[in-house]
Structure 1
Amino acid sequence: MPYRATLRGYAVAALQGSATLAGQSVFPSADWPTVDPDYPAILVQCYREKKESRAKGSQIPQFIATAVLAVTARVKATGGAEAGPNVQMLLDELEDQIFLAITTCQPLLQSIQRVSWVDSDQEISAKSQYHAGEVRINFGLEFPVDVDPLGDRPAALPSITAPLKEVDLTWTVPQGTPQPGLVIDLPQPE
């Protein structure tokens, strides 16, 4: 399972447990099972990840990954001219609740190196008898990724190591000193 799925799970749990305006209407998939009367609702995705090498000059694959945790929330308000300001007020409150729920979630914070950035934007539209609003908040979550070229190698690929046939342990010593050493032939007879 990708690490970003773990991060998404922590975010969903934090939002469901934080008493936001959306309550338990927090969904972890791209398919919102909502219709307008179900708002406010929150969608949590972790759809992008970028890995940058931190092993400069080395062939060992070590990275700093940044996953984008995308949280989208929708609200609505009915009525005439007052619906727009009401939606704006709801969006501002929900944005603050989401920000605090994510940035204070201890399991999430302990699973990453840092929150490297937060980006948010809002949109409000009027639809006949009501106004709807959406806030999108993206969190850049950094964490280290180390790949073991031997241990993490898929089993279906052919072996890249040569079998060990002999171990020769000898030392350079001053002339006239007994030569210590040991030669082990492999594989050992059973």
Structure 2
Amino acid sequence: VAEVEEEKARLTERLEAQETELEIMRLEIARLLMELEAANEGRQELMDRVEGLEAESAAAREAIVETERALKIKNEEMAALRVELQQRQEEAGELGRLRAQLEEERYRSEEAMEALRREGEKALEEARRREEEARKEQQGETEALQRAMDAQRAQFVEMQEENRKMAKRAEEMSVELAESKKKAEKLEEYRKFKKVSVK
């Protein structure tokens, strides 16, 4: 009986230790889930940044369209100047002066158009570069995040499997403890029966 009681105490102690370990694992699982949620929030923040860069790229494209519109207006102004020059030539006969004026206006307009074109190309190139950098950064961070999430998921699955094994062992220990109790009760009944028989 003493051995049974000792075995019972030992099994009870092991069961309590297993339950404590299970509680620690539950807390670890909760912590991992919180880290996973934080990682998802980081991924959402990255997506927001990419959307912001895309908005900047769209603004750059709009600026290019505006530049082209300004160039078109300049061309229309030059056409109007040519018409005006023709009229003045016909009216005043100041062909040389008006031709020089037209040439000067043409030169200035060409310089302005070239400057606007270079500025537009530079803005477009910068927008493309930033968009490509953002895409690469997003891809790298997304892949790293996915690897971390896969590792956490694998660890979580492994912990669930370990938890299942421990729960199964706890059930087995409960069965063993119940059997030990039954044996102890039978021994106690036998002792009582033996005492009665001796009397």
Under a length normalisation based on structure 1, what TM-score does the superposition of the two structures give? 0.27
Pick the structure with greater CA Rg. Answer: 2
**Greater strand fraction, Structure 1 or Structure 2:** 1
Structure with more relative contact order (C-alpha pairs < 8 Å, separation 6 or more): 2
